[in-house]
Amino acid sequence: MAIEYARTNRPDSTAVRERFVPDTLRKIKLEIPDSLGALYKYTDALRAATIRDDSTTALRLLHEALEIDPDYAPALYRIAVETQRSQPEKALEYARRAYQSDSTNRWYATAYGQSLLINNKGDEALSIYRRLMQIDQKNADHYRIVAILYQQRQQPYTAISVLDSAEMRFGKNAYLSEMKRSLLISTGQMDRAISEAEQTVEEAPYEQNNHLLLGDTYLAAGKDSLAGVTYRRALEMDSTSVQALGAYADYCSGQRDMKGYLATLRLLYAREEFPLERKLELFGRLTSDRKFYGEHYFALGALASTLAVHYPSDKRAIDLYGDHLIAGGDIDAALAHFKLHLKDEPPQMDYYMAVIDMEEYLGRTDSLDHYVQRAMEVFPNDATLQIRKANRQYIRGDMHGAIATFEQALEMVQTDSLRGQIWGYIGDTYNAIKERVEVGDKEDTTGFKMRLSAKKAQKKCFEAYERALALYADNASVLNNYAYFLSVKGLELERAHSMSERAIALESNNATFLDTYAWILYKRGDNERARTYMRQALSLDRTGSAELPLHYGDILFALGEKFMAETYWRKALEQGADAKRIEQRITLGKDAPEGARIEDIVKE
């Protein structure tokens, strides 16, 4: 019964509580936040973030903690830290609320200061970090940030004062000393800057970087000799240091010591820590000045060679060394260099084209044909190689073979502009067939027979040019050639004039194009303008073509200037013009009436 009494007659806990609550308090409804629930959520969030590395769940739990207690500072702080980079503006608001809840908490203050910096609110951040210098006195980084903020506000002297305070509190700090040294230099306090750098060296004499900074300071103060000695001392400590090599190279460059500069660069180029991209960019700048390149060709060649040795499979280094050899006129060495890389994997078209171009330049036709064929075996569907093969066939006199190869190239190209160019080449080849037929077999030494009549070849030439211009209307070479051949035949002079005019608009300094235009003007009877354009053509010509002075002589003759006409005809003869043509002009032109056209007198 005793147990039963205890169970049934125990006073209700609520009744007991109410018995001891004063009447005045019963009238007030107390609402106490469930901070313990917020703490549980916060703890779960930390567990998710640190143990499971689940930041998404952690943020969700932190927000749930704030739903329980909107002013729960630890959750506000953690959200600010987690979202500073992804949502800087929102993070700033959370950091501000955390800081306002407890401005003496160094963690909250730090998060708030960082958020202000991230949001570019330097003035507000300055006040927070100045406070951090008081409540977190063992952290030298706060002094660094305050100094930076003063520097940004164009208050370098105040920044120096802050760093002096940091030095008094914490002693010498390498980073803060370097910052202070830079500020002293920027404010012209060279003696203090040197003293600062020398003290740093005295405290850590075996630190190479300290010597480099001292060298920089001497240099800034105009003490060049001391700077050079200090840089060399730093290099003696570690001659492989990229930073030391770079500093000494810059010093030599500033002193106009190009020998020392390039020698140091060679050591720097041998270091893998110095990025290849920077090496290539620097080499490009050094060689962009042609005079400097010529004066220091061999020293720069040592840099290029160093790159080729240290980066044997990098195409950029391979190209750079090859281009350097070509620039110096060492074609045989460049040829050998690129031939070594023809077996590289994957194969590089550029290397084959370089070899082909150099073999052609050297006039080694057999070797040229060999490498063209070899390249075509490696790149069987490359239109460029087909074009090169066709050009070789053209030069050898195999005109029909060249046309067939050009037609194969047409099947491989992807753009109308290139198709237009190839049709232009085909037109040129048909014109060559026409000229060969007109000359006759007796003067042909190629051994290749022409299978078309001159009339048929000319027709196909014009058809090819039409197709070329339909695909690529601004093909300047086709416009010029087509216009010239029409004018020679006296056909469609208006259209020839328009095409030639467009060609010189596209390439205004092309002597051949200007010659064509002048010749068409002459054919149309516009002799004065023809003379003007022919003068331009002669002044720009670098080929020594006999056709230009011959045409100019004909134009001058039509203008009645027989003496000058004969002068230019003789010049054409000196440059390789047919002697019979020149003799006819000189002989028959003497008795010709004033204003006559020589082509009406001479039957060619």
Cα–Cα dist 269/468, whole Å: 50
Contact 280, 303 (CB under 8 A): no
Rounded Cα–Cα distance for residues 472 and 478 (Å): 9
Q: 133 with 142: CB under 8 angstroms? A: yes
- For residues 587, 592, 597 and 603, what is the CA-based torsion angle, rounded to 10 degrees? -50
Q: Say which DSSP state 531 is in.
A: H
Q: What tokens does 375 get?
A: 């390249």
pLDDT at 604 over 60: no
Say if residue 338's pLDDT is above 90.
yes
- Residue 105 belongs to what H/E stretch? none
- The average pLDDT across 159-173 equals 86
269 pLDDT band (50/70/90 cuts)? very high
Amino acid, single-letter form, for residue 483: A
Task: Give the burial class of 93: count Cβ atoms within 10 A of its Cβ; 0-12 exposed, 13-18 middle, 19 or more buried.
Answer: middle
Residue 267 pLDDT: 94
What average pLDDT does this structure show over 568-588? 89
| C-alpha of 421 from chain center | 29
Q: How far apart are alpha carbons 45 and 22 in whole angstroms?
A: 41
Predicted confidence band at 14 (pLDDT cuts at 50, 70, 90)? Answer: very low
Q: What percent of the chain has pLDDT above 70? A: 93
pLDDT digits over 277-289, tens only?
999 999 999 999 9
What mean pLDDT do residues 156-183 have? Answer: 86
Contacts 24+ apart (CB under 8 A), 30-38: 33/68, 33/69, 34/68, 34/69, 35/68, 35/69, 35/72, 37/65, 37/68, 37/69, 38/65, 38/66, 38/68, 38/69, 38/72, 38/75
Alpha helices, H only, 221-348: 224-237, 242-254, 258-269, 276-288, 290-295, 297-310, 315-327, 331-340
Q: In this predicted model, which residue has the larger pLDDT, 463 or 164?
A: 463
Residue 347's SS3 state is coil
**pLDDT tens, position by position, 494-503:** 999 999 999 9
pLDDT for res 591: 79
What pLDDT, on the 0 to 100 scale, is given for residue 441? 59
Q: Map tokens 């006559």 to a residue.
A: 596
- Identity of residue 547: E
Name the pLDDT band for 603 (thresholds 50, 70, 90).
low
| For the chain, percent of residues with pLDDT exceeding 90 | 56
Please name the residues in contact with 298: beta carbons below 8 A apart, sequence gap of 6 or more: none
Residue type, 106: R
Q: pTM for the whole thing?
A: 0.64
